[in-house]
Amino acid sequence: MEPLFELAIRLPAAGSRDLLRELHRQLRGAILDGRLQPGARLPATRALAQRLGVSRNTMLAAYDLLLGEGYLLARPGAGTYVADTLPVSRRRPAPKRVLAAGRDPRLVPASLPGADLAPTLQPQPARDDFRVGLPDVSLFPFDIWRRLSDRALRRVARQTADYADPQGQAALREAIAGHVSFTRAVGCTADDIVVTAGAQQAFGLLARILVVPGRTVVAVEQLFYPSLREAMLAAGARVVTVPTDAEGLCVERIPPEARVVCVTPSHQFPTGVAMSPQRRAALLAFARERNAVIVEDDYDSEFRFVGRPLDALQTLDRAESVFYVGTFSKSLFPALRLGFVVAPPWARAALVRSRELADWHGPVLGQEALAAFIAEGHLARHIRKMRKLYGARRTALLEALARHGAGRLETIPSSAGLHLSARLRGDTRDFTVVERAAAAGITLPPLSRFALDPLAPGTPNGLAFGYGLIGEAQIDGAIRRLAGLL
């Protein structure tokens, strides 16, 4: 079968002596500027000559010139291809652009201070991988998911061809409402839920409807999820940080002008501290009195190992101030890209409209499969199984930190989630430890990586240990070697 070839070739006037030169020049130019990619198969000379209305001998001559110059490669019995290695650079350097003063902040690419302090990505997977926020997918029931996906495909094939609801599939919203009601005592109905492409899109949509560029002040925790801050900055917000302590966010330190407060109260990211009941009440009072809203990121809430979980802020809210954000990236797998927002009634229409303008709606098949996965009890069973697995790894990590890190690492109390954090004792900076650890085959993030200014005085100095990717048997040896580096 001949390859599709839609490259526009402009031929000189009939009878011109420049025909061969033009064919050669235009094909060569298409290769050099990337319109014909390395490895692309070209049509046979007879087929292309017929399409362009030239003689085959002329087309053969143009191919021969390019073959001789090294731009094309002939493979006997297979055809003619663009060479993988070209004689000259294929791409021109991109012109440098300077942003004009006063440019709308939404057009300025957001950058995270201190990103250069993160360890260099290793060419080979780390021997001991403590990265945070990544679950173990080896035990996920992909056979069940495949069956539910096939069923969803058959169901969608029987429906009329039309775009789906930007708010999300009704079956999935019903399933999520039941799930969060049972697991987190979040009182909502399917109408309160907007399905998103993970928590990241949820933050972007909320920033779009809550932030007035250049005016809205958004308060975040001293250490925070970087992409949340980036979403707010990209919308033009003024982002300020608020200190945290053993009880969570220091509500009395929130600037009075803040109109959006972003928190992770159930399992503060990345320290793991849970916000105390007194602070939760104070934060809700602040929002009510200042006419502010709260973005509650309840990540990792399914995995609790000690005690009873505290009520979500959304459960306690009586003034319609809280946007509750959840995701299935940690409980299932990140590539699923499905999350949700439980929105107050007054903001729901704007949020749905923003989702519609962003990508109209998410993939229908994934939503239908997840709805069935939840409704049939597979999600609850998988969470119970993974909670046992992660609980064993967490115990092994706590024991290893106590055994090998005494005097060097002080574990921060945490009762939930897929990671633990520890403060570094002494003068050694966490990013220095991370660099040395990376060289020794241990990957983990420094706590300062999640600060607005990693080098500012008072920035927490410590390490985060994710246990979603590392086996239980590896943990003790990895911590022992890390302690040796310290």
Higher pLDDT among residues 65 and 86, named by residue? 65
pTM, to two decimals:
0.82
Rounded CA separation 239/452 (Å)? 9
Same domain, 250 and 171: yes
Residue 93 lies in a domain: no
**In a shared domain, residues 337 and 462:** no
56: domain CATH number is 1.10.10.10
238-242 and 217-221 as β-strands: parallel, antiparallel, unpaired? parallel
Residue 441 sits in a domain whose CATH number is: 3.90.1150.10
Question: Is position 426 within any domain?
Answer: yes
State whether 316 and 245 are in the same domain.
Answer: yes
Q: Is residue 107 part of a domain?
A: no
Note whether residue 104 is domain-resident: no
* Residues 224 and 355 grouped into a single domain: yes
* Residue pLDDT, tens place only, 233-273: 999 999 999 999 999 999 999 999 999 999 999 999 999 99
> Which of 82, 105, 125 is the C-terminal boundary of a domain?
82
Residue 73 has pLDDT above 70, yes or no: yes
What dihedral angle (degrees, nearest 10) is formed by the CA atoms of 341, 344, 347, 352?
A: 40
pLDDT digits (tens, 9 = 90+) for 23-47: 999 999 989 988 888 989 999 999 9
Shared-domain flag, residues 449 and 392: yes
In this structure, are 349 and 420 located in the same domain?
A: no
CB 447 within 8 A of CB 430: yes
Question: Is there a domain that residue 330 lies in?
Answer: yes
End-of-domain residue from the set 336, 352, 376? 376
Q: What is the dihedral of CA 213, 214, 215, 220, to 10 degrees?
A: 90
Q: By C-alpha distance, which of 89, 87, 72 is closest to 33?
A: 89
The pLDDT tens digits of the residues spanning 384-434 come to: 999 999 999 999 999 999 999 988 999 999 988 999 999 999 889 999 999
Q: Are residues 54 and 152 in the same domain?
A: no
For residue 87, being part of any structural domain is answered with: no
Helix (H) or strand (E) holding 218: strand 217-221
Question: How many domains are contained in the chain?
Answer: 3
- Helical (H) or strand (E) element with 128: strand 128-129
Q: What is the pLDDT of residue 116?
A: 40
Instruction: For residues 225 and 343, state if they share a domain.
Output: yes
The answer as to whether 338 is a domain residue is yes
168: CATH = 3.40.640.10
Q: What percent of the chain has pLDDT over 90?
A: 68
Based on the fold, state whether residues 363 and 390 are members of the same structural domain: no
Range of the domain at 66: 19-82
Is residue 154, in this structure, part of any structural domain at all? yes
Torsion angle defined by CA atoms of residues 236, 238, 243 and 247, in that order, rounded to the nearest 10 degrees? -60
